Structure 1
């Protein structure tokens, strides 16, 4: 069953879900490294895939965040 959240609501809750605490581990990127996006495995320096920051140690690319949003809203 999908959550059906708006994109604005989804993006607005990110700072609360992922505080800027180096000892805090995101549930979305538990096994990732700080140099790779855990969804697409591209490095953060890839210019065609801008970074969307979730926390200081684990980050997602913006397009991967959007893919997650789409997945959450699938029927």
Structure 2
């Protein structure tokens, strides 16, 4: 499933991603490659912590481009981990 993730740099220069459709789910990485590699494990951990058997549906709202410090992007999340 595709989710919108907003990416910005924190005060240490690391990339931080937040998901408006997955409240409280955040992901961090030293750069974009690290950030993208951490998305799936972060979503799986977030779902487990919240006791979810299914992920909430992704919003069809348009991404917010009003903050130039925060880049919206679509990321693929594989929901197969919820089947097992």
Q: Same fold (TM over 0.5)?
A: no
- The structure with the largest strand share of the pair is 2
- TM-score normalised by structure 2 residue count: 0.29
The alignment's TM-score, normalised by the length of structure 1, stands at 0.32
